[in-house]
């Protein structure tokens, strides 16, 4: 029987056991690292339990410049370095070889960690939240839908782009084109997914589903969707403390989004069981329902695709106009190429097709350069599923392998990698599409759509929509002016995807129409 006199001795024994157990784990990891030929990576900002580094990051998040801050850390500590955050060691890297290992050659050594639990309240069990067999099943369900010709449904896109063009002021007054792009892409994405657009670009609220639902309108749906994603980003930054971020506003936003999507899920299942109601046009939800009519599976997968289909394309288009409005030579050169190929809106020469869009090199160079400087998903991470290593980053010269113990987070910044001067030259932070003509062959140092088995399924959809929208705008307007000239560098707001914190304010008009 343990008496109070024996309690100090028992406590000392327990402490000794824990210390010995810790030392044994450290020894085993060191031996494992040696067997893999690993050397330690440089260490980042010192501090007890990494609290100081975490507090600094939170401050930069509040300033809305944490993407740039993390880029600066690579300049201070090297292309691969170890950093403690809230008591947990992390590895940060922008080495193409390491990212290739994370995403492809050592794909099975890494997982998404707590992302499933962080994102579950909104996205459930989907392609962006699952690992292993669950992810394989979700990807297998979605992949066939993105290999179809309907992904390049320019006729569907045309109606929404035309509606957006009608909203643009013709008198040369300033407006935020980013706001319009987010409305455009939520309309086109919901049309493609659900067979019916939510109508965010409509001049008045529709009296159908959205007016009767708790979101109240298309704008209400877009706002609820945005609010939910903002909280997902906050939960992700909180890492193992994600569960502390679960306010009523977040729960209510999720409920509203689910209410709308569930309606379309029920409609797709009903149409599957009633061939007379099935649409003649391809509808993503109906195609999914043909293979699986579980309502939750359909809702989760459609929401996962909606996140990608709406935000990444809107981010790309917004950044295109940020740079074009500040680089008149590129705007004029690209517009002349487009007019020569397709004509303008008053005198069209040829039909715009996906094949023709792909065959315009300078259009591709412009999009590539924008995706390089402002990738829609600038930051990402993986978690080691077992003791493993990454190819480079260790030792004094940074060329030795680095040990990655099971459970360690490895973060990588595509944003920072794309700005390395040793990869893209001394003008790596400058917008210069011509660099892609000089050296268009890129490997793992250019990853706007991720890579490996988890490479973005909707890559061609996003590029086609962005290319088509840009061409239509170039046809309709001959003059683009920057309406926020004091802003020289982008003010980046990064939640799940990147956007411009101050919007993208421009003047877009035709010189003959301006009144």
Provide the pLDDT for residue 207.
Answer: 45
Query: What is the Cα–Cα distance from 398 to 39, expressed in whole angstroms?
Result: 9
For residue 261, give the nearest of 309, 209, 308, 187 by alpha carbon.
209
Provide the pLDDT for residue 503.
Answer: 94
Residue 134 within any structural domain of the chain:
yes
Residue 9 within any structural domain of the chain:
no
Close Cβ partners of 206 (under 8 Å, ≥ 6 residues apart): 199, 217, 218
DSSP annotation string for 314-380: HHHHHHHHHHHTT-HHHHHHHHHHHHHHHB-SSSB-S---HHHHHT-HHHHHHHHHHHHHS-SS-EE
- In degrees, to the nearest 5, what angle opens at C-alpha 318 toward C-alphas 232 and 71? 60
Query: What is the Cα–Cα distance from 87 to 70, expressed in whole angstroms?
Result: 19
Which residue ranges are tagged as binding site for heme? Answer: 456
Q: Give residue 76's region: left, alpha or beta (phi > 0; psi -120 to 50).
A: alpha
Query: What is the Cα–Cα distance from 322 to 328, expressed in whole angstroms?
Result: 11
Q: How many CA atoms lie within 13 A of 477 on its CB side?
A: 23
Tally of domains within the chain = 1
Which DSSP letter does residue 427 get? T
> 497 lies in which domain range?
29-509
Residue 37 within any structural domain of the chain:
yes
Residue 53 within any structural domain of the chain:
yes
Secondary structure class of 202 (helix, strand, coil):
coil
Query: Could you tell me if 282 and 150 are in contact, meaning their C-beta atoms sit under 8 angstroms apart?
Result: yes
CATH number of the structural domain spanning residue 181: 1.10.630.10
Query: What is the Cα–Cα distance from 162 to 111, expressed in whole angstroms?
Result: 42
For residue 269, give the nearest of 309, 300, 307, 299 by alpha carbon.
299
Which residue ranges are tagged as binding site? Answer: 456
Secondary structure class of 9 (helix, strand, coil):
helix
Query: What is the Cα–Cα distance from 451 to 210, expressed in whole angstroms?
Result: 37
Residue 78 within any structural domain of the chain:
yes
Provide the pLDDT for residue 12.
Answer: 66
- pLDDT tens digit string along 187-209? 998 888 888 888 888 865 554 55
For residue 261, give the nearest of 303, 309, 219 by alpha carbon.
303
Residues of the chain with pLDDT under 70: 1-31, 34-35, 46-50, 86, 145, 147-152, 203-218, 275-280, 440, 512-515
Q: What is the 3-state secondary structure (H, E, C) of 221-277?
A: HHHHHHHHHHHHHHHHHCHHHHHHCCCHHHHHHHHHHHHHHHHHHHHHHHHHHCHHH
**Residue found by looking up tokens 């109906």 in the block:** 286
- pLDDT tens digit string along 249-287? 999 999 999 988 898 888 888 887 776 666 667 778 888
Query: What is the Cα–Cα distance from 362 to 334, expressed in whole angstroms?
Result: 7
For residue 323, give the nearest of 447, 470, 438, 459 by alpha carbon.
470
Residue 417 within any structural domain of the chain:
yes
Q: Residue 404 — φ and ψ, nearest 5°? A: -125, 100
Query: What is the Cα–Cα distance from 35 to 473, expressed in whole angstroms?
Result: 58
Query: What is the Cα–Cα distance from 251 to 228, expressed in whole angstroms?
Result: 8
Close Cβ partners of 31 (under 8 Å, ≥ 6 residues apart): none
Q: Which helix (H) or strand (E) holds 394?
A: strand 388-394
Neighbours of 409 (CB within 10 A): 21
Query: Could you tell me if 406 and 106 are in contact, meaning their C-beta atoms sit under 8 angstroms apart?
Result: no
Residue 165 within any structural domain of the chain:
yes
Residue 297 within any structural domain of the chain:
yes
Give Cα separations from 201 to 83, 155, 182, 205, 394 (angstroms).
Answer: 45, 17, 10, 10, 52
pTM of the model: 0.88
Query: What is the Cα–Cα distance from 318 to 150, expressed in whole angstroms?
Result: 25
- In degrees, to the nearest 5, what angle opens at C-alpha 285 toward C-alphas 280 and 288? 105
Q: Residue 3 — φ and ψ, nearest 5°? A: -100, 170
Task: Count Cβ neighbours within 10 Å for each residue of 272-288 and write b for 16 or more, e otherwise.
Answer: beeeeebeeebbbbbbb
Task: Count Cβ neighbours within 10 Å for each residue of 181-210 and write b for 16 or more, e otherwise.
Answer: bbbbbbbbbbbbbbbbbbbbbbeeeeeebb
Beta bridge mates, 343: 348
Q: Residue 375 — φ and ψ, nearest 5°? A: -60, 135
């Amino acid at each position: 029987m343990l008496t109070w006199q024996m309690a100090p001795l028992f406590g000392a024994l327990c402490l000794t056991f824990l210390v010995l157990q810790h030392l044994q784990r450290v020894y085993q990891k060191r031996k494992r690292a040696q067997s893999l030929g690993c050397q330690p990576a440089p260490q980042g900002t010192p501090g007890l339990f990494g609290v100081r580094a975490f507090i600094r990051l939170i401050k930069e998040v509040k300033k809305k410049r944490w993407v740039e801050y993390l880029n600066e850390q690579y300049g201070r500590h090297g292309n691969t370095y170890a950093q403690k955050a809230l008591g947990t060691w992390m590895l940060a890297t922008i080495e193409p070889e390491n990212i290739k290992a994370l995403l492809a050659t050592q794909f099975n050594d890494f997982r998404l960690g707590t992302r499933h639990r962080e994102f579950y309240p909104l996205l459930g069990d989907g392609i962006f939240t699952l690992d292993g067999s669950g992810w394989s099943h979700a990807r297998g369900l979605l992949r066939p839908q993105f290999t179809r010709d309907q992904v390049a449904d320019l006729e569907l896109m045309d109606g929404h782009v035309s509606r957006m063009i009608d909203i643009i002021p013709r008198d040369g007054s300033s407006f935020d084109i980013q706001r319009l792009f987010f409305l455009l892409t939520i309309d086109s994405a919901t049309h493609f997914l659900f067979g019916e657009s939510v109508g965010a670009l409509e001049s008045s609220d529709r009296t159908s589903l959205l007016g009767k639902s708790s979101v109240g309108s298309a704008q209400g749906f877009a706002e609820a969707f945005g609010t939910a994603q903002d909280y997902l980003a906050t939960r992700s930054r909180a890492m193992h403390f994600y569960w502390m971020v679960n306010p009523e506003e977040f729960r209510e936003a999720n409920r509203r989004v689910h209410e709308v999507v569930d309606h379309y899920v029920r409609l797709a299942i009903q149409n599957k069981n009633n061939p007379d109601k099935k649409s003649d046009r391809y509808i993503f939800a109906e195609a999914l329902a043909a293979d699986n009519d579980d309502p939750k599976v359909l809702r989760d997968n459609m929401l996962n695709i909606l996140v990608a289909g709406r935000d990444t394309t809107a981010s790309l288009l917004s950044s295109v106009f940020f740079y074009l409005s500040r680089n008149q030579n590129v705007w004029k050169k690209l517009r002349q190429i487009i007019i020569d190929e397709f004509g303008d809106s008053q005198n069209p020469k040829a039909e715009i097709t996906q094949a023709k869009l792909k065959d315009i090199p300078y259009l591709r160079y412009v999009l590539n350069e924008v995706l390089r400087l402002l990738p829609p998903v600038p930051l990402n991470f993986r978690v080691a599923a077992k003791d493993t290593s990454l190819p480079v980053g260790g030792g004094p010269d940074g060329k030795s392998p680095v040990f990655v113990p099971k459970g360690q987070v490895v973060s990588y910044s595509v944003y920072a990698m794309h700005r390395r001067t040793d990869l893209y030259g001394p003008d790596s932070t400058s917008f210069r599409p011509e660099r892609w003509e000089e050296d268009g062959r890129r490997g793992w140092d250019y990853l706007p759509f991720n890579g490996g088995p988890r490479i973005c399924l909707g890559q061609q959809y996003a590029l086609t929509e962005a290319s088509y929208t840009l061409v239509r705008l170039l046809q309709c307007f001959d003059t683009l002016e920057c309406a926020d000239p004091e802003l020289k560098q982008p003010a980046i707001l990064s939640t799940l995807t990147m956007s411009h914190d101050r919007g993208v304010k421009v003047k877009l008009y035709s010189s003959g129409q301006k009144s």
